[in-house]
A and B are shown apart, each in its own frame.
Chain A
Amino acid sequence: MDAIATFLSMGGYWPYVWPAFALTAAVLGGLWLVSWRAMKTREAEADALPSRRRDARPETSP
Chain B
Amino acid sequence: MQRFANPGKFLRLAAVVQPVAITVLAMSLVLGLILGLVVAPPDYQQGDTVRIMYVHVPAAWMALFVYTVMAVASAVTLIWRHPLAEIAARASAPIGACFTFVALATGSLWGKPMWGTWWVWDARLTSVLVLFFLYVGYIALANAFDDEERGGRAASILALVGFVNVPIIKFSVDWWNTLHQPASVLKIGGPAIDASMLWPLLLMAVAFKAFYVAVLIMRMRAELAERRLRVATLAGAQG
Residues of chain A having any CB pair with chain B under 8 Å = 7, 10-13, 16-17, 19-21, 23-24, 27-28, 31-32, 35-36, 38-39, 41-43, 45-46, 49, 53-54, 56-62
Contacts and interface: CB of A to CB of B under 8 A. Distances in A.
Contacts of B109: 16-17, 19-20, 23
A44 B2 CA distance: 28
Given A36-B218, A58-B231, 4 more contacts: A10-B49, A17-B52, A35-B222, A53-B235
A23 B102 contact: yes
A23 B59 CA distance: 12
B10 to A, nearest CB: 10
From B5, B48, B101, residue with most partner A Cβ within 10 Å: B48
Nearest to A21: B55
Pick the 4 closest A-B CB pairs, nearest first.
Answer: A42-B225, A11-B48, A10-B48, A53-B232
17 contacts: A11-B48, A13-B47, A16-B113, A17-B52, A21-B37, A23-B109, A24-B102, A27-B102, A31-B94, A31-B98, A42-B221, A42-B222, A46-B228, A58-B7, A58-B83, A58-B228, A59-B8
Given A24-B106, A28-B102, A31-B94, A38 B222 contact: yes
Interface in B106-124: 106, 109-110, 112-113
Given A10-B51, A60-B8, A23 B105 contact: yes
Nearest to A14: B48
B44 to A, nearest CB: 12
Secondary structure call for the B interface = helix
A43 B225 contact: yes
A10 B49 CA distance: 8
Interface of B: 2, 5-8, 37-38, 42, 47-49, 51-52, 55-56, 59, 83, 94-95, 98, 101-102, 105-106, 109-110, 112-113, 211, 214-215, 218-219, 221-222, 224-229, 231-232, 235-236
A36 B216 CA distance: 10
Contacts of B221: 39, 42-43
